[in-house]
A and B are shown apart, each in its own frame.
Chain A
Amino acid sequence: MQLSREALTRAYRQMKVIREFEERLHIEIQTGEIAGFTHLYCGQEAVAVGVCEHLSVDDKIVSTHRGHGHCLAKGCDVNGMMAEIWGSREGLCKGKGGSMHIADVDLGMLGANGIVGAGSPIGVGAALAAKLDGKGNVAITFSGDGACNQGTTFEAMNMAVVTKAPCIFLFENNHYSEHTGFEYAVGTQQDIASRAEAFGMKVWRGDGTDFFSVYETMREVLEYVRSGAGPAAVEFDTERFFGHFEGDPQRYRGPGELDRIRETRDCLKIFRASVTAAGLLSHADIDALDADVMAEIENAVTLARAADRPTADDVLTDVYISY
């Protein structure tokens, strides 16, 4: 199905917001202002956006340590997220969670997660809740090629099949789990989707660097899962443009690898090329969006920097008992 100009604009803008959010963090982290571990989603934008453009607030997603893109695509507030990463009390989680624990449950964003593989069972639960509610909603759990090796993922997949939970196991294969290659850590040395298939699920595969591949694949997957047919799994082949976490020297990469993937596997470039070639949006349209997003991110950083800092008293709030 052809996307409207409005939908295309929205999708591109969302991807660009994620890209600039991450590119800017990459720079800001080097100043030492931002604390903790930060895992950037840069390079994988087409997956988060191609998935979340299909979802309503009543559909839930469960994310990972590399969660900024999922959060932004699901509608989390840009300023609130930036402030959270800055550790401000005006952040989405009042500075208590930070980059790895951003959540906005009201938007159906059930949390980034610092424990690899923890999200899949949570997704099954959210899907079972959707099944009980009977309104055709789904839960989507994002996992990496590393997380697919965690026992929790296997258990969750089987349980989803057994309970016919409307759960989608979405695997973002960026070929690395921390410093380890996918070919080493996934024993089949093939794909992740075929594993999911062995659990009795219908599976799909797509190109995670191409928004349209993700979007069209997800249309089919969601139609299937919303119909009550049970869980499904999808694997998208994608790329991570930065290190595992900020500060990673990435010596496991091949020579020229980063330049090559930035050149040939950049989902934003690929999107621009295909919509301009098809005459759907012009370069000028896209340039205007870029400028708009740059201003939005600049503003978010300015606000985050000036935002209220938490105080010692805040340690003892949001917990049922204080001692």
Chain B
Amino acid sequence: MAQMMYRDAVLSTIAEEMARDPNVVVLGEDVVGGMGTPGGPEAIGGIWSTSTGLFGQFGADRVIDTPISESAIVGAAAGLALAGKRPVAELMFADFIGVSLDQIWNQMGKFRYMFGGKTKCPAVIRMAYGAGYNAAAQHSQSVHQILTGMPGLKVVIPSTPADVKGLLRTAIRDDDPVMFLEHKALYGMSGEVPDDPDFMIPFGHARLSRAGEDVTIVSSGLLLGFCEAVADKLAAEGIGCDVIDLRTTSPLDEETILDSVEVTGRLLVVDEAPPRCGLAVDLCALVAAKAFASLKAPPQAVTPPHTPIPFARELESAYLPSTDKIEAAVRALLAWR
């Protein structure tokens, strides 16, 4: 085991996979950084430091610094993948899927099915998502609910450095297009990471990060840590929570959620995306449909409100789910009759 930051787990996994497979290529804005400047290539990398040194190690053909052209970046990833390569494209902010959506949605997500299974599209689109930086309405969004609604895409949200490693490796080796969502507030998180060069975490397998018998809390990303903190606090009072880290929203590990709710009878989904037509209601519906008999209270969700993301510190913190809101929701579930 090595101690490693979330961002370094991203970088080292890409580097290891590039060394292992010559078909892996990286592309995106400032992934080299400094191109065409007096400071020269790699004078400064991208703003998340998730591609530092790759250019020097693998060269310009495999580490492609692009102009600001998200539609072409994602489209080129689709084309690279159709032509047998394994692109790992970076969108600097997940919000920029808006610029490239056709290539994600109508193109790469549909090739395999539309072409009668005759092709694969092994592209990874990495993107920094999430609030917490006061980056306001166009640089803070959680986009997994949009992407999860698109058939053909796999959607991954790692919540720890170890999960970055295991899930990103799986993503790069996977033959379907994978949307890989990295929470920008987690880049500095440190954790143990297995050294095994083939360490992989299969998609569709959630992780139980806390165990308890009273309430099931499902979450991912930054908010997972909030849920764990609440579970730890309540455990001291004798209230037990299962905290389930989803890891992938597509495919979805229904079994882990349903097994847990069958014991606890109570579901709380804590999600950073807006409340309508999203993951939270999706999981509440799943439990209502498939674990109805074990429910002791109506499934509940804690999400931000149905508004764009505000800028000011006070507004953004009021917007985001907090440990207080999560704790109150757990207590309300327990008090329900």
Contacts and interface: CB of A to CB of B under 8 A. Distances in A.
A179 interface: yes
Given A36-B134, A87-B313, A315 B35 contact: no
A194 B69 CA distance: 19
B305 A178 contact: no
A291 interface: no
A81 to B, nearest CB: 13
Contacts of B235: none
B315 interface: yes
Contact of A181 (B37, B99, B139): B37
Interface stretch (B38-46, B155-163, B167-175, B203-211): B38-46
A309 interface: yes
A323 B29 contact: no
B36 A101 contact: no
A1 interface: no
Nearest to B317: A312
Contacts of B275: 323
Nearest to A180: B35
A97 B46 CA distance: 25
A149 B307 contact: no
A179 B33 contact: yes
A115 interface: yes
Contacts of B67: 146, 149, 177, 180, 185-187
Contacts of B45: 179
Contacts of B313: 35, 87
B72 A180 contact: no
B68 A251 contact: no
Given A101-B137, A179-B30, A310-B315, A319 B307 contact: yes
A254 B133 contact: no
Q: Interface residues of A: mostly helix, strand, loop or mixed?
A: loop
Interface string B292-331: 0000000000000111101111110011000000000000
A253 B314 contact: no
Nearest to B100: A151
A84 to B, nearest CB: 8
Nearest to B35: A184
Nearest to B71: A151
B43 A179 contact: yes
Contacts of A120: none
Contacts of B3: none
B312 A35 contact: yes
Interface in A189-236: none
Contacts of A181: 34-38
Interface string B59-70: 000000101111
B68 A95 contact: no
Interface string A88-129: 110001011110110000000000011111000000000000
Contacts of A319: 306-308
A292 interface: no
B72 to A, nearest CB: 7
Contacts of A152: 99
A100 B37 contact: no
Contact of B65 (A101, A184, A253, A322): A184
B197 interface: no
A177 B308 CA distance: 27
A150 B99 contact: yes
A254 B43 CA distance: 10
A322 B311 CA distance: 18
Interface in B257-315: 275, 305-308, 310-315
Interface in B119-153: 133-139
B33 A180 contact: yes
B312 A310 contact: yes
A311 B314 contact: yes
Given A101-B137, A116-B68, A180-B37, A251 B44 contact: yes
B99 A180 contact: no
B34 A180 contact: yes
A252 B38 contact: yes
A116 B29 CA distance: 12
A257 interface: yes
B56 interface: no
Contacts of B36: 180-185
A115 B38 contact: no
Nearest to A316: B305
B33 A87 contact: no
Contact of A315 (B37, B72, B96, B319): B319
Contacts of A185: 35-36, 67-68
A142 interface: no
Contacts of A3: none
Nearest to B46: A179
A98 B37 contact: no
A98 B71 CA distance: 27
22 contacts: A35-B134, A36-B133, A95-B311, A95-B312, A100-B135, A117-B68, A150-B69, A151-B99, A179-B34, A179-B43, A180-B29, A180-B30, A180-B34, A180-B37, A184-B36, A186-B67, A251-B39, A252-B33, A257-B38, A310-B315, A312-B315, A321-B306
Given A87-B313, A147-B68, 13 more contacts: A36-B134, A101-B311, A115-B98, A150-B68, A179-B30, A179-B34, A180-B36, A185-B67, A251-B43, A253-B37, A253-B39, A312-B314, A316-B307
Interface of B: 29-30, 33-40, 43-47, 65, 67-72, 95-96, 98-99, 133-139, 275, 305-308, 310-315, 318-319
